[in-house]
Amino acid sequence: MTHRRELSVAAAYAALLVTLLAMAPAFFEAPNLRDLLVAAAPVLVAAVGMTLVILARQIDISIGSQFAICAVVAGLLAKQGLAMPIAAAGAIATGVIFGALNGALVAGLGLPSIVVTLAMMVGLREALRWMTGGEWVQGLPVGFQWMGLGQNAGRVAIAAAALIVWAAVAWAMRHVAAGRAIYATGSDAEAARLAGMRPRRVVFGVFVTMGALTGLAAVLSAIQFIDVQTNSGTGFELRVIAAVVVGGTSIAGGRGSLVGSLVGVLLLATAGPALVFLGTEAYWDRALQGAIILGAVAADAVGSTTRAMATP
pLDDT of residue 2: 54
- Ordered by start, the domain boundaries in the chain are 4-310
DSSP string covering 47-110:
HHHHHHHHHTT-----HHHHHHHHHHHHHHHHHTT--HHHHHHHHHHHHHHHHHHHHIIIIIT-
Query: From CA 42, how far away is CA 44, in angstroms rounded?
Result: 5
DSSP string covering the chain:
-TTHHHHHHHHHHHHHHHHHHHH-GGGGSHHHHHHHHHHHHHHHHHHHHHHHHHHTT-----HHHHHHHHHHHHHHHHHTT--HHHHHHHHHHHHHHHHHHHHIIIIIT---HHHHHHHHHHHHHHHHHHHHTT--B----TTTGGGGS-HHHHHHHHHHHHHHHHHHHHHHHHHSHHHHHHHHHHH-HHHHHHTT--HHHHHHHHHHHHHHHHHHHHHHHHTTSSSB-TTTTTTHHHHHHHHHHHTT--TTSS---HHHHHHHHHHHHHHHHHHHHTT--TTHHHHHHHHHHHHHHHHHHHHHHHHHHH--
pLDDT tens, the chain, 312 aa long: 456 778 888 888 899 899 999 999 999 999 999 999 999 999 999 999 999 999 999 999 999 999 999 999 999 999 999 999 999 999 999 999 999 999 999 999 999 999 999 999 999 999 999 999 989 999 999 999 999 899 999 999 999 999 999 999 999 999 999 999 999 999 999 999 999 999 999 999 999 999 999 999 999 999 999 999 999 999 899 899 989 999 989 988 999 999 999 999 999 999 888 888 887 766 666 677 677 667 766 766 666 665 555 545
Give Dmax over CA atoms of the chain in angstroms. Answer: 66
pTM (2 decimals)?
0.92
pLDDT of residue 182: 97
CATH of 4-310, one of 1.10.3470, 3.30.70, 1.10.760, 1.20.120: 1.10.3470
pLDDT of residue 8: 83
Give me the amino acid identity at 179. G
pLDDT of residue 1: 43
pLDDT of residue 176: 94
Pick left, alpha or beta for residue 256 (phi over 0 → left; psi -120 to 50 → alpha; otherwise beta).
Answer: left
pLDDT of residue 219: 98
